[in-house]
Structure 1
Amino acid sequence: MELSWLGETLHYTDEGATDDAILFLHGLGGNANNWLHQRRAIAEHHRVIALDFPGHGRSTGTSVPFGQYAAAAQALLDHLRVNEVSVVGLAMGARVGITLAARSPRRVRRLTIVNGYLELPPREHEKRVELYDLLLSPGGAREWAQLLLEGMGVSGHAGIARGFLASADRIDPAHVNAVFHQVDGVDQAEEFRGLAIPVQLIVGERDQLVPTSSTEQLTALARKATISRFPDSGHLPYLEDPATFNRALEDFLHSQAASTDGATWDTAPR
């Protein structure tokens, strides 16, 4: 499905039930198909919407800055006449979800952050900048992809690795590098602190891209937080262990604890 927005074409999917909507937001360089396992399973009981951000997947708009991604998501919800939605975002997608929730507090009822962070310790930050700047070097995109696979802790998953490397061959390296630096320059700490909605932090403990200190910062800033830890998963638990991921997400969406003020729950998948 397609939506015309600011002269660009946004691709999205809209499946399942007619209400109880969930919006899935992919990470940097990804697309709506990253959530296929969730779209197939969760659409049995929810309306499942997934967006290709501008310049990603089948959407046009490589010139659209990261700062407008939340506006693109909001335009999609307006187009679909979705008044209330739960948002699930991976990394960059979670950053968009934070802004969307801050701008539309009555529309976003819950937020799930998958391996997200607001800022990195200095040395980790330097390493991440070096990694993404490889994209600007001749032949650097392949090295970037291999190193990112290792950092995500998913290189041992042959199917995921093959799919990721195939996708990496189709990205625009300069665009991904530019968006990375735009995301890196955004300070969302106060925006996140101001959210009054329940927040779920899904943490893949084999993920080397998001240090423990970043998760601790999110936990400290959140008013209402549930932490779901995946000890055997890395950066992409929704692909590595989709059944457990989907169950943890459903538990959060329907938990009474998720609507209780001023507390944090730390859970492990069953």
Structure 2
Amino acid sequence: MELSWLGETLHYTDEGSTGDAILFLHGLGGSANNWLHQRRAFAEHHRVITLDLPGHGRSTGTKVPFRQYADAAQAVLDHLRVNEVSVVGLAMGARVGITLAARSPRRVKRLTIVNGYLELPPREHERRVELYDLLLRQGGVREWAQLLLKGMGVSGHAGIARGFLASADRIDPAHVNAIFHQVDEADQVEEFRGLVVPVQLIVGERDRLVPSSSTEQLAALAGNATITRLPESGHLPYLEDPATFNRTLEDFMHRQTAPSGGTSWDTRASQ
């Protein structure tokens, strides 16, 4: 399906039953197809919506700045007349979800952040900038992809690695680099601190892209987040172990309240 928005074309999917709606938002360089396991599983009892964010997948809009990505997601929800939705976002997609939840706490019922962060420690920040600036070098895309795979902790999953390398050959390097820097420069600390919706943090403990200090910052700012740590997963737990990921998400969606007293509910999922 597609929607005309600000002169661009947004591609999205709308599947499943008339149950509670879930919006899945992919990470930088990804697409709605990243969520195929979740689309199939959750569509049995939920309305499942995915979106190719501007300039990603089949959506046009490589000139659309990151700060307008939430506008694009909101436009799709408006078009589909979705009044209440749970939002699930990976990394960059989680940052989009934070803005959606901050703007529309009556529409966004809950927010799940998968391996997300707001800020990185200085040295880790420098390494990340160096990694993404490889995209602007002659022949740097393959080196970037290999290093990113290693950092994501998914090199042991041959199918995921092959798919990621194939998708890396199709990206617009300059676009991915530009959006990385825009996300990196976006200050969403106060926006996240002010959220009034229940927050879940899903952390793949083999992920080396998001340091523990960044997860701790999110937990501290949220005050009473539900944190689930997946010891056998890296940056892409929804692909690495979809059954555990889906169960973790479903449990959160059916939990009526977040833990009280400003204390996070921090657990490790059995896999």
In 2: Cα distance, 1:224 partner to 1:21 partner:
23
1:158 aligned onto 2:158 = yes
AA partner of residue 241 (structure 2) = D
Matches within 5 A, 1:216-231: 216-231=216-231
Deviation at 1:260, TM superposition (A): 5.0
RMSD of the TM alignment (CA)?
1.0
Letter in 2 for 1:146: Q
Q: What TM-score do the two structures reach when normalised by structure 1?
A: 0.98
What amino acid sits opposite 2:59 in the alignment? S
Supply the distance in 2 between the matched residues of 1:264 and 1:257 (Cα, whole angstroms). Answer: 12
Match of 1:200 in 2: 200
CA contact (8 A) 1:38 1:242 kept: yes
> Alpha carbons of 1:22 and 1:6: their partners in 2 closer, same or farther (altered >3 Å)?
same
Give 2:95's aligned amino acid: R
- Match of 1:23, as an amino acid? L
Counterpart-to-counterpart distance in 1, 2:110 and 2:224: 10
Is residue 57 from structure 1 mapped to residue 57 from structure 2 by the alignment?
yes
Helix, strand or coil at the partner of 1:258 = coil
Q: 1:260 to 1:79 in 2, by over 3 A?
A: farther
Aligned to 1:40: 40
- Structure 1 counterpart of 2:147: 147
| Counterpart AA for 1:81 | R
Partner Cα separation in structure 2 for residue 183 and residue 162 of structure 1:
26
Q: Residue in 2 aligned with 1:76?
A: 76
Separation (CA, whole Å) in 1 of partners of 2:211 and 2:52:
27
CA contact under 8 A between 1:132 and 1:180: conserved in structure 2? yes
Query: In the alignment, is residue 66 of structure 1 matched against residue 51 of structure 2?
Result: no
Q: Which residue of 1 aligns with 2:7?
A: 7
Report if the CA contact (8 A) 1:197-1:224 is conserved: no
1:256-267 aligned at under 5 Å gives the runs: 256-258=256-258, 260=260, 262-267=262-267
CA contact (8 A) 1:248 1:269 kept: yes
Q: Does 1:244 align with 2:231?
A: no
Note the C-alpha offset of 1:264: 1.2
Q: How many angstroms apart in 1 are the aligned matches of 2:39 and 2:260?
A: 28
Aligned-residue offset at 1:261: 6.4
Distance in 2 between the 1:259 and 1:112 partners? Answer: 15
TM-score of the two chains, using structure 2 as the length reference: 0.98
3-state DSSP of counterpart to 1:81: coil
Partner secondary structure for residue 73 of structure 1: helix
Instruction: Say whether the 8 Å CA contact 2:20–2:47 is kept in structure 1.
Output: yes
Query: Which residue identity lines up with residue 247 of structure 1 in the other structure?
Result: R
Specify the alignment match of 2:175 in structure 1: 175
Q: Displacement, 1:269? A: 1.6
8 Å CA contact 1:203, 1:230 repeated in 2? yes
> Gaps (5+ residues) in structure 2?
none
Q: Distance in 2 between matches of 1:261 and 1:73?
A: 33
Query: In structure 1, what is the Cα distance between the partners aligned to 2:258 and 2:120?
Result: 27
Q: Is contact 1:198-1:259 (8 Å) kept?
A: no
Task: Look up the match of 1:117.
Answer: 117
Distance (whole Å) between structure 2 residues aligned to residue 218 and residue 100 of structure 1: 17
Shift of 1:258: 3.0
Say whether 1:24 aligns with 2:27.
Answer: no
How far, CA to CA, are the matches of 2:253 and 2:263 in structure 1?
A: 16
Structure 2 Cα separation of the partners of residues 89 and 227 of structure 1: 15
Kept in 1: contact 2:54–2:62 (CA 8 A): yes
* Contact 1:11/1:51 (8 A) holds in 2: yes
Task: Tell me which amino acid in the other structure corresponds to 1:231.
Answer: P
In the aligned structure 2, how far is the partner of 1:192 from the partner of 1:119?
A: 12
Given that 1:65 and 1:179 are in contact with CA atoms closer than 8 Å, whether structure 2 keeps it comes out as yes
Q: Which residue of 2 aligns with 1:103?
A: 103
Partner Cα distance (1:198, 1:263) in 2: 13
1:23 partner SS:
strand
Shift in Å, 1:255: 1.0
CA distance in 2, matches of 1:150, 1:259: 35
- Letter of the aligned partner of 2:265 in structure 1? W
Distance 2:39 2:267 in 1: 24
